[in-house]
A and B are shown apart, each in its own frame.
Chain A
Amino acid sequence: MEEKHTYNRRNCLSGILFGFGLAAFVDEAVFHQLLHWHHFYDLSTTSWGLISDGFFHAFSWFATVGGLFLLADLRRRKKMIPMLWWGMVLLGSGVFQLYDGIIQHKVMRLHQIRYGVDNIFYYDLVWNGIGAVLLIVGVLLVWLSRRKKHAQ
């Protein structure tokens, strides 16, 4: 029982770390580097925004790799719980997306999703909306996997 509990937590940790990293990677690779929607650095930022962005980037860089190695370890032990793992991935991506969209974009005004558009409200709505959907589906999957486990 103790062992099962432990591997549950490992599945959660691995999933949420990879979810964070995945969302951060998509944000950087697609929106910064391919579309150039945001810039390398917005000169008007507060120093707090700069620091939080630095830590967040460093954490997500490590989380992507670390999360995948944790997954490899779970699979080699045959202890992966796919529904729980995927649920936590979506939950992690959703949390990242909302943090980026609400705290970084709006509260700290670190950068905006896109520059030079008339109505940024719709961009924000879509960005945060996707984040919320990811979060809700993630929570649902985690809940379903718990129920399945209890039913067994």
Chain B
Amino acid sequence: MHNDKLALIIAFLAILGYLLAMKFSARKFEAWPIYRLLLFGAGVAVGIQALAGPVAMHAHHSFVFHMLGHLLLGMLAPLLIVLSRPLTLLLRALPQRRGQAVSRLFRSMYARFLIHPVTAAVLNIGGLWVLYTTSLYHYMHQVNWVSFLVHVHVFAAGYLFTMAMLYTDPVPYRKSYLFRAFVFVGALAGHGILSKYLYANPPTGVDADEAQEGAILMYYGGDLVDLILIVILCWQWYRAAAPEHKLSASEART
């Protein structure tokens, strides 16, 4: 089966699943806000651009469109979907026993390791370094399933990273805002350095001109999405540090 059809089926199932979960959750809890459904739908629609539709079509022969697809699939789509809180919805929708099993899985050592901000950042940015500095990029245009796996990784790693920064879903063992800010700066630097590196060192099979255009898009596009993430992270801190609970001297120093 072609990747674009497979992606459309996955997208359809994802939205159907979200709607069903909203329905089941409404039996026990108050109604799930519609804007979260819109965020989820927008995230799926944005992400699918990398695999189906005009952007995906041009991406086969244009590095710039490939990069546009990656920004959408690896950064913007994860951000929108993380904000729609799918895991919280899932936990609400499941019967109690199943819900407990899911939250146990969430609290396992494995999940804790994966959701750790440093692991998430390494998987996210490290994956991009591997993709563009080895022959993997060339290879993914030759073999269909490699291409599909690369796209799955880009989305999954982007999602993991965004969730590890924003904690919109019930993530256990949370790290402090300061710690996440440090990891964020490191990840953003890794992304920026890779963009500038690609500007001068095109991936295998990419023309120098195209690599430069793609690198500039990656740099500024990445900055733009990251700016949204930074504002949300700081906003969360601002709300959490509201003066109702008086600031103790030790907290204020962080």
Contact = CB atoms under 8 A, between A and B. Distances in A.
Interface string A1-30: 011011101100000000000000000000
A62 B181 contact: yes
Contacts of A65: 227, 230-231, 234
Contacts of B184: 62
A65 B234 CA distance: 7
A73 B238 contact: yes
Nearest to B226: A61
Contacts of B192: 53-54, 57-58
A141 B237 CA distance: 29
B230 A62 contact: yes
Interface in B239-254: 241-243, 247, 249, 252-253
Contact of B234 (A7, A54, A59, A69): A69
Interface string A35-73: 000001101000000110111011101100110010011
A61 B235 contact: no
A58 B196 contact: no
Dominant SS among interface residues on chain B:
helix
Contacts of B249: 2-3, 5-6
B219 interface: yes
B185 A55 contact: yes
B200 interface: yes
Contacts of A72: 238
B246 to A, nearest CB: 9
A150 interface: no
Interface residues of B, number: 34
A5 B247 CA distance: 13
Given A2-B249, A7-B252, A41-B196, A69 B185 contact: no
Interface residues of A, number: 27
A6 B181 contact: no
B243 A58 contact: no
A44 B219 CA distance: 19
Given A10-B252, A69-B235, A69-B237, A41 B200 contact: yes
A69 B177 CA distance: 13
Interface string A106-118: 0000000000000
Contacts of B187: 58
B223 interface: yes
Interface of B: 181, 184-190, 192-193, 196-197, 199-200, 212, 215-216, 219, 223, 226-227, 230-231, 234-235, 237-238, 241-243, 247, 249, 252-253
